[in-house]
Amino acid sequence: MDITPLHDWNLPLTEAATLQTMLAKRLHVDRPLKKCKLIAGADCSYNKFSTTMYAAVVVLRLSDLSIVETQGAVGEAMFPYVPGFLSFREIPILMQAFAKLAHRPDAVMLDGQGIAHPRRMGIAAHVGLWLNIPSFGCGKSKLCGTFDEPGLEAGDRSPLIDKGQTVGAVLRTKKRTKPVFISPGHLIDLESAVRLTLQCSGGYRIPEPTRQAHLHVNVLRVNAGKTR
């Protein structure tokens, strides 16, 4: 994949926050995604107290959730771990993995937030702007907002509200398991993000794109440790 750089990553925290607020104005989260044949999942991993980051991107065929392609990358984090600024720490490594893809996905799912973020610029929104591909977040926990607990059946959902705005959905992907937090990132609306999440359910709480990316990145991290 060809990726056009959007901005520098090595910024002071105050400038990073200003950039997030500015970039959020460029997001489009009201567009239904009508066609999707290939969906990618992306995830990062690292060892505690280490600055070495491992990234993985897995492309799946939406019709049967079969894996089409996997790519990984290893690099050094140049930004500290600060809640709300995950994208500045992880996206530079993720872009290295995306750049290796031979298949361009129609949508990207990330383990994190889209606009369900204090400045409406979670990692899924930020990745969407960098790739110019429909993107959304499927987080295991919320970063901001309030919600009512959804019903206990798979597919039950409730709105995630922050400052009077619906920024996502709290979605039960599996009966009687903890819900996940879905939020649009860029070039996709909430309904499409929820629909894709349910379509990607492989019987686990975590949908297949991000579940497979998580599995792949951990293998990459463990194997890298064995070669040292």
Instruction: Please give the structure tokens belonging to residue 7.
Output: 């901005």
Residue ranges covered by each domain of the chain: 23-226
pLDDT tens for each residue of 170-219:
999 999 999 999 999 999 999 999 999 999 999 999 999 999 999 999 99
pLDDT tens for each residue of 13-42:
999 999 999 999 999 999 999 999 999 999
Which stretches does DSSP call E strand in the chain?
Answer: 38-46, 52-61, 66-76, 107-110, 135-139, 157-162, 165-171, 180-186
Tell me, which fold does domain 23-226 have in CATH? archaeoglobus fulgidus dsm 4304 fold (3.30.2170)
Average pLDDT estimate for 112-128:
98
- pTM of the complete model: 0.95
Distance CA 153, CA 141 (A): 19
